Amino acid sequence: MASDGTVGAPYGHEIGAMLRERREAMGVSLAEVEAATRIRQKYLAAIESDDWHLLPGEIVGRGFLRNYAAYLELEPEEVMERRRAITDPNVASTLSNTSAGATLPPSRQVDYRPKDVALHDDEELDEEESGSSLPFLPILLIGVLLFFGWWNLDRIGTWAFNAYTGIQSRLTELTASSPEPVVPTPNPEANVPLAPTATLVASTGGDSSSVAAVPTDTPTAPAIVLPTDTPTTPAIVLPTDTPTAPPLVPPTDTPTLA
């Protein structure tokens, strides 16, 4: 029985002892295993001593066991089957007559030190990088052209709008400041023709006398007013010299002599 209270495997030594022997045969210390597998030394020592109760848990411990076995170049699945056989008596009895109970093959010396290997030449790598970037150059160029075209179009539209607004404002200022044309005011008195002047002629005959109005030969023409740039005073029309009619003498009843 193992130290954690589980039933030991019926096919020989424990997993921890097997792992420790393999590590010592490889000449690797626990510190080196920790640096390679990122598993803390206290957990590695617990696995080698079969103290699974010192591990964070069964599931985490099995993950440590798998990585440790892979580092030691053991078959991880076979080591995991051994662990399952230890924790489950039914599995142990089933695997007792299989190859799981056989001893592991001897270890072999392997150099785990990293080596510098040139995977690609620098020239080939540069050609691949330049070749992979070529298909994207036209797309990038088109995008840049579209961006600058849209930007310039927006600027042109703004300039045209500002110019149109400035012209409209200038026209409004000029219209407001220009003087209004002076329209001459018509003079109704100047345009009205003068009536012909009449003269009174006395006539005698019979018992009564009458006065007849005779028009003059040439009536006075109205003055013509020409429009000028500045309004002028209307022309003053002087009356013509019209002869005055003699006073009318009313007829009197003259008695006739017998």
**What residue segments make up the domains of the chain, in order of their start?**
15-101
Choose between 99 and 137: higher pLDDT. Answer: 137
In this predicted structure, the answer to whether residue 214 has a pLDDT above a threshold of 50 is no
Percent of the chain residues past pLDDT 70, beyond the cut: 40
Mean pLDDT of the residues in the chain = 67
**pLDDT tier at 248, thresholds 50, 70, 90:** low
pLDDT of the residue at 56: 86
pLDDT of the residue at 10: 41
Closest CA to 39 of 56, 58, 18: 56
pLDDT of the residue at 5: 40
Choose between 117 and 163: higher pLDDT. Answer: 163
**pLDDT tier at 12, thresholds 50, 70, 90:** very low
Closest CA to 79 of 134, 9, 167: 9
**pLDDT tier at 58, thresholds 50, 70, 90:** confident
- Domain 15-101 architecture: Orthogonal Bundle (1.10)
Q: What is the rounded distance in angstroms from the CA atom of residue 124 to the CA atom of residue 120?
A: 7
